[in-house]
């Protein structure tokens, strides 16, 4: 058990809908990262938050957004869903996440999103 929790485990929805994925980092970790894993693209970094502020952005679509709350949990919002958004979405947390530091990341169990 990594100490990172994600809800829900599974999500089935229709195209055009909007969903919210939730992540609670390990106790004390300030950084939260979101990754998407699909068969064709592999594991892709989406976005990072550090202590409530956006720190880095990866291949995140404009239809996707995220935030980190004062209690450090994070939510990933996916809107106008398309079939191609079906994937495993992982959250990871790290004690650090600042440039030049060692960045061991601990992953949650993931949310499997299926868009029909």
Partner 1 sequence: SQQGEEDPQALSIQEGENATMNCSYKTSINNLQWYRQNSGRGLVHLILIRSNEREKHSGRLRVTLDTSKKSSSLLITASRAADTASYFCATDEAGTALIFGKGTTLSVSS
Candidates 12-20, 69-77, 79-87, 100-108; binding stretch for partner 1 (CB under 8 A): 100-108
Residue 2 interacts with partner 1 (CB under 8 A)?
A: yes
Interacting positions 4-63 with partner 1 (CB under 8 A): 4, 33, 35, 42-43, 45, 48, 55-56, 58-59
Angle at 62 between CA 60 and CA 67, to 5 degrees: 70
- Minimum CB distance to partner 1 smaller for 12 or for 80: 12
Question: Dihedral, CA atoms, 37, 71, 101, 33, nearest 10 degrees?
Answer: 10
Nearer to partner 1, 81 or 97 (CB): 97
Of residues 101, 109, 88, the one with CA closest to residue 31: 101
Which region, judged by CB under 8 A, interacts with partner 1, from 14-22, 61-69, 72-80, 86-94? 86-94
Contacting residues toward partner 1, per CB under 8 A: 2, 4, 33, 35, 42-43, 45, 48, 55-56, 58-59, 88, 90, 92, 96-110, 112
């Amino acid at each position: 058990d990594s100490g990172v929790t994600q809800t829900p485990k599974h999500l089935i929805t229709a195209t055009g809908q909007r969903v919210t994925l939730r992540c609670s980092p390990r106790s004390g970790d300030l950084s939260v990262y979101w990754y998407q894993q699909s068969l064709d693209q592999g594991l892709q970094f989406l976005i990072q938050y550090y202590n409530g502020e956006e720190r880095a952005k990866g291949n995140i679509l404009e239809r996707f957004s995220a935030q980190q709350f004062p209690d450090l949990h994070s939510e990933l919002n996916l809107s106008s869903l398309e079939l191609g958004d079906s994937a495993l979405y992982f959250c990871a947390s790290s004690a650090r996440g600042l440039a030049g530091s060692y960045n061991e990341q601990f992953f949650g169990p993931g949310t499997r999103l299926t868009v029909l």
